[in-house]
Amino acid sequence: EYVRNVYSPQLDDVRDLVVYVPPSYDENPYKQYRNPILMHDGENLFNASTSFGGIAWRCDTTVDTLVAEGNMEEVVIVGVNNDINRTAEYTYSKDPTYGGGDAKPYLDFLEQTVLPLAAKRYRVPLPSQRRWGMIGSSLGGLLSCYAG
């Protein structure tokens, strides 16, 4: 599902979120998803028509398969779509040629806006509980390591 136009006071911008919930999500309204995953480049996660290069990462089908095989517990995935500022927001130091160095306000947006919104809507922990995993590819992976 999409959560459109999430305003970020930290970036003074809006972002769309794309959220995966397990197929059984509506069966038990009391079930908590204790180990949610935050992913960068949300437009790449599930849908080839929105992904860079036209090839989706198929996170939803991969998770569904792993859960069905008993190799993974059910999770909620929250993807944050990037925009033209991707390079700047996914890097923590500024390069004189390529720019960058705006990871701190972007990470503040994730922690102060995206994760609390997800906790309110999807039965996942608040960021203060330190239960979230963070995954990314390329600069998104670099940012995930930086976030620690």
Ordered structural domains, the chain, with CATH: 2-147 (3.40.50.1820)
pLDDT at 127: 81
Short-list 114, 126, 32, CA closest to 79: 114
* Ramachandran category for residue 44: left, alpha or beta (phi over 0 → left; psi -120 to 50 → alpha): alpha
For residue range 90-111, list pLDDT tens digits in order: 999 999 998 899 999 999 999 9
Cβ–Cβ under 8 Å, residues 112 and 23: no
pLDDT at 7: 98
3-class SS of residue 63: helix
CA dihedral 115, 69, 52, 108 (to 10 degrees): 10
pLDDT at 137: 95
3-class SS of residue 8: strand
pLDDT at 130: 84
Query: What element of type H or E holds 80?
Result: strand 77-80
**Distance between CA atoms of 69 and 71, rounded to whole angstroms?**
6
pLDDT at 128: 81
Cβ–Cβ under 8 Å, residues 115 and 106: no
pTM over 0.85: yes
Q: Using 70 as the pLDDT threshold, list the residues of the chain that sit under it.
A: none
Look up residue 22 and give its two tokens. 């397990």
* Ramachandran category for residue 119: left, alpha or beta (phi over 0 → left; psi -120 to 50 → alpha): alpha
pLDDT at 98: 86
